[in-house]
């Protein structure tokens, strides 16, 4: 049974931006998925996925100081669900790229450290990921580029967590 297209035509004529290609969310969704697929492809020979690489580089970035890197800190900084960070760290730990040690001061917390093998993996992976970024986004995606500046501006305008997913009664 075929749906009558007229109500859908009216919906798209009245309430949309004219088509998916005009909706930032749809285009961004497609671009993000393309970027992830490309990074997964170039990292496959290193036995890393985009998500594993991102988790590893996040641990390394936060580990530059003497402060303990915890899974909770990584989740907050990356704006990622703590369970997802935990699952990625388990995978990285199984590959001996990170270690997770129980905190002496908080038995619930685990301190994350990038191993020597993890640093070696990052040295090999970073140029590959940077090449994908440059190929897909060009100068606009480089530090100081217009695309990166626009995305950072949007990211900095975070909604308060209590408002996310809640409908206004106004």
pLDDT tens digits for 135-163? 999 999 888 899 989 988 888 887 665 44
**Cα(132)–Cα(81) distance, integer angstroms:** 26
Q: How confident is the model at residue 131 (pLDDT cuts 50, 70, 90)?
A: very high
Per the model's pLDDT, the better-predicted residue between 159 and 121 turns out to be 121
Among candidate residues 42, 81, 79, the one with its CA nearest the CA of residue 155: 79
Is residue 1 domain-resident?
A: no
Helices 82-94, 50-62: axis angle to 10 degrees equals 100
Residues 9-44 pLDDT 10s = 777 766 667 777 778 888 999 999 999 999 999 999
Domain ranges, residue 37:
7-154
What was the pLDDT predicted at 7?
73
Is residue 147 domain-resident?
A: yes
Residue 43: give its domain's CATH number. 1.10.10.10
Per the model's pLDDT, the better-predicted residue between 118 and 161 turns out to be 118
3-class secondary structure, 131 = helix
What was the pLDDT predicted at 3?
65
What was the pLDDT predicted at 14?
67
Mean pLDDT in residue range 115-123: 98
Q: Tell me the sheet residues that pair with 70.
A: 111
Residues 51-71 pLDDT 10s = 999 999 999 999 998 688 999
Q: Is the pLDDT of residue 126 over 60?
A: yes
Is residue 126 domain-resident?
A: yes
Instruction: Report how many domains make up the chain.
Output: 1
**Cα(111)–Cα(96) distance, integer angstroms:** 15
Q: Is the pLDDT of residue 79 over 80?
A: yes
Q: Is the pLDDT of residue 115 over 70?
A: yes
Is residue 69 domain-resident?
A: yes
Is residue 169 domain-resident?
A: no
Is residue 129 domain-resident?
A: yes
**Cα(69)–Cα(112) distance, integer angstroms:** 5
Token output for 55: 């988790």
Is residue 75 domain-resident?
A: yes
Is residue 162 domain-resident?
A: no
Q: Is the pLDDT of residue 111 over 80?
A: yes
């Amino acid at each position: 049974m075929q749906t009558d297209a007229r109500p859908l035509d009216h919906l798209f004529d009245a309430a949309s931006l004219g088509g998916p290609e005009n909706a930032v969310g749809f285009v961004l969704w497609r671009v993000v998925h393309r970027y992830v697929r490309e990074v997964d492809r170039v990292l496959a020979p290193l036995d890393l996925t985009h998500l594993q690489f991102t988790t590893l580089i996040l641990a390394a970035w936060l580990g530059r100081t003497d402060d303990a890197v915890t899974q909770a800190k990584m989740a907050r900084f990356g704006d990622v669900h703590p369970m997802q960070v935990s699952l990625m760290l388990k995978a990285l730990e199984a590959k001996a790229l990170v270690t997770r040690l129980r905190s002496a001061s908080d038995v619930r917390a685990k301190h994350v450290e990038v191993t020597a093998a993890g640093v070696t993996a990052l040295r090999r992976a970073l140029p590959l990921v940077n090449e994908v970024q440059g190929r897909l986004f060009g100068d606009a995606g480089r530090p100081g580029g217009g695309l990166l500046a626009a995305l950072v501006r949007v990211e900095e305008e975070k909604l308060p967590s209590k408002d996310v997913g809640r409908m206004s009664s106004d």
